[in-house]
């Protein structure tokens, strides 16, 4: 079991969980709304994460509607897919016509795409037909407001995706949409945020549930 923050009366614990490995991650192709299941190694990652997560208390599990998030949530928490709260607001960023492509393919087909390069990761600012970071941040705000309206004072697990959770985390940390991109998330990374009754962040911890996830770093 993971060491847990001590909750005071009215505190909310938001635990975000990035899904396990998919073929899109492995092949360094843009994912977005493209709905693919976990690879077998992704399921193995989730099983390993379940052993670490086992015994960790929670009250609700919310998942993106994409297969990779649902599978991960169910394996790690033990909650059956039919019992998860499936919420479209926490789906991954939509990358439009870039989805399924590698960066070299994007640069060849859509030379107008501009990237914000942070270390080794390129963040596309204007995916053709896709979702801007400003729009993604607004969606993350709507999601967070909904979660706190419905589940305040509980322990909530959210199974979702890299770009969406960067914006959700940015809201919780008070960072702008672009500064939020500086913190990468690995597969099966768990981040826990303790909020007081006024929605103020009072404690945060990161737990890498799979120690070798760095082998499949973001791109």
DSSP string, 9-60: TT-EEEEEEE----HHHHTTB--TT------HHHHHHHHHHHHHHTT---SE
Residue 217 lies in a domain: no
Residue 85 in tokens: 């709260």
Residue 160 lies in a domain: yes
Quote the pTM value.
Answer: 0.96
Residue 126 lies in a domain: yes
Residue 139 lies in a domain: yes
Phi, psi of 50, rounded to the nearest 5 degrees: -60, -40
Report the number of distinct structural domains present in the chain.
1
Residues forming beta bridges with residue 117, ordered by sequence position: 122
Name which of 27, 31, 37 is nearest 131 in CA terms: 31
Name which of 133, 159, 13 is nearest 78 in CA terms: 159
Residue 165 lies in a domain: yes
CATH number for the domain including 148?
A: 3.40.50.1240
Residue 3 lies in a domain: no
pLDDT at 4: 84
* Burial environment of residue 120 by CB neighbours within 10 A (0 to 12, 13 to 18, 19 or more): exposed
Domain that holds residue 190: 12-212
Residue 2 lies in a domain: no
Residue 5 lies in a domain: no
End-to-end Cα distance, the chain: 31
Residue pair 30/106 in contact (Cβ under 8 Å)? The answer is: yes
pLDDT at 63: 98
Q: At a CB cut-off of 8 Å and minimum separation 6, what does 149 contact?
A: none
Q: How far apart are CA 57 and CA 38, in angstroms?
A: 25
Residue 79 in tokens: 């909650």
Q: Going residue by residue through the chain (219 aa), what tens digit of pLDDT does each one get?
A: 788 888 999 999 999 999 999 999 999 999 999 999 999 999 999 999 999 999 999 999 999 999 999 999 999 999 999 999 999 999 999 999 999 999 999 999 999 999 999 998 999 999 999 999 999 999 999 999 999 999 999 999 999 999 999 999 999 999 999 999 999 999 999 999 999 999 999 999 999 999 887 788 777
């Amino acid at each position: 079991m993971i060491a847990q923050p001590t909750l005071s009366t009215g505190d909310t614990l938001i635990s975000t969980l990035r899904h396990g490995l998919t073929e899109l991650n492995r092949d360094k192709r843009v994912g977005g709304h493209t709905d693919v299941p976990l690879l077998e190694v992704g399921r193995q990652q989730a099983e390993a994460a379940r052993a670490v997560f086992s015994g960790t208390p929670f009250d609700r599990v919310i998942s993106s509607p994409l297969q990779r998030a649902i599978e991960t949530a169910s394996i790690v928490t033990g909650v059956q897919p039919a019992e998860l709260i499936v919420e479209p607001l926490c789906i991954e960023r939509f990358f439009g016509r870039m989805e399924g492509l590698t960066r070299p393919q994007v640069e060849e087909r859509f030379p107008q795409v501009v990237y914000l390069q942070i270390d080794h990761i390129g963040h596309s600012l204007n995916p053709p037909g896709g979702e801007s970071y400003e729009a993604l941040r607004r969606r993350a705000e709507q999601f967070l407001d909904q979660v706190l309206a419905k589940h305040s004072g509980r322990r909530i697990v959210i199974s979702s995706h890299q770009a969406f959770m960067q914006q959700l985390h940015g809201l919780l940390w008070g960072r702008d949409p672009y500064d939020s991109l500086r913190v990468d998330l690995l597969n099966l990374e768990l981040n826990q945020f303790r909020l007081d009754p006024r929605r103020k962040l009072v404690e945060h911890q990161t737990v890498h549930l799979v120690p070798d996830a760095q082998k499949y770093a973001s791109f």
